Amino acid sequence: MNRLHRLHTALMFNLAFLAAHAVAAAPEVPAFSRMTPGGAVAGWQTLKPAPNANDTRYRLVPDAGTVVLKAEAESAMSGLIHPVRVDIRRYPLLRWRWKVAAPLQTADMTQKSGDDYAARIYVMFDYPAEKLPFGTRAKLRLAEALYGQRIPTAALNYIWDNRQPVGTIQSNTYTDRARMIVVRSGAAQAGRWITETRDLAADFRAAFGEDPPDIVAVALATDTDNTGESATAWYGDIEFLPGAAAEAR
């Protein structure tokens, strides 16, 4: 896979910014559990990183009395994104469920050639470009000129990795404006549903060393185009929560 393709993949969720000011302020993410198996994934937009990339297949399926999103990737990369503006001071928590059939075997988050994941959740932030160093702004302008779209200035990526320990935080190998956070790793919990709750504000501070701006989008992806592997994952509902509400549940 060429460098520009991988750069585009790492930055592909820029479409969130195009719709950021057109979406409602309430942090509502369309719930898969309220959708119909085999139906359209309403409220989510498909993101394709490059014209020649294979698509990850996403479909709604029944699972233990509810409906979830199943992702199947065979040397593929595409994602789903929902633009939503969230006041992180009011809704600092993100909760979701996910499951993987197995982690990838040859992926390596420390290498550009291994930038694939069986499952990941993205959160994009409305970080002011003027606060970035000049060199970073120049790189973003170059990428925007190449792709004709605005590039996200800050993103957290919650990943199910295959080798790095849980809690690892590092920059994406293609851009330091996307930070990777290992939430699950290895095969020990594969095949079972796991519920995650993350403090987005705390994670942003840990990853970027400063307070977070508002959120503009959430996305998900199962990604195997670089390693050429196959992966299957399932995603449950994704919710933004106030701290007190999460503690009470």
Q: How confident is the model at residue 159 (pLDDT cuts 50, 70, 90)?
A: very high
Question: Which pLDDT score is estimated for 8?
Answer: 44
The residues, any chain, with a CB within 8 Å of residue 28's CB and separated by 6 or more, are 84
Instruction: Supply the pLDDT for residue 136.
Output: 54
Confidence of residue 148 (pLDDT cuts 50, 70, 90): very low
pLDDT at 48: 76
Query: What percent of the chain clears pLDDT 70, i.e. is strictly above it?
Result: 76
Domain boundaries, the chain: 3-248
What is the C-alpha to C-alpha distance for residues 59 and 128, in angstroms, rounded to an integer?
A: 35
Q: Is the pLDDT of residue 114 over 90?
A: yes
At residue 107, does pLDDT exceed 70? yes
Note the pLDDT of residue 220.
Answer: 97
Overall average pLDDT of the 173-200 stretch: 95
Choices 2.60.120.260, 3.30.870.10, 3.20.19.10, 3.40.710.10: CATH for 3-248? 2.60.120.260
pLDDT recorded at residue 45? 94
Q: Span 84-96, mean pLDDT? A: 96
Confidence at 18, pLDDT banded by 50, 70, 90: very low
Q: What is the pLDDT of residues 115-133, one digit of tens each?
A: 999 999 999 998 555 555 5
Q: Kindly report, residue by residue over 212-229, the tens digit of the pLDDT.
A: 999 999 999 999 999 999
Confidence band, pLDDT 50/70/90 cuts, at residue 243: confident
Q: Global pTM?
A: 0.83
Model pLDDT, residue 16: 43
**Res. 137: pLDDT tops 60:** no
Contact 67, 33 (CB under 8 A): yes
| Lookup: tokens for 88 | 């992180």
Residues 39-52 as b/e (b if ≥16 CB within 10 A, e otherwise) read: eebeebeebebbee
The model's confidence at residue 52, banded by pLDDT at 50, 70 and 90, is confident
Predicted confidence band of residue 142 (pLDDT cuts 50, 70, 90):
low
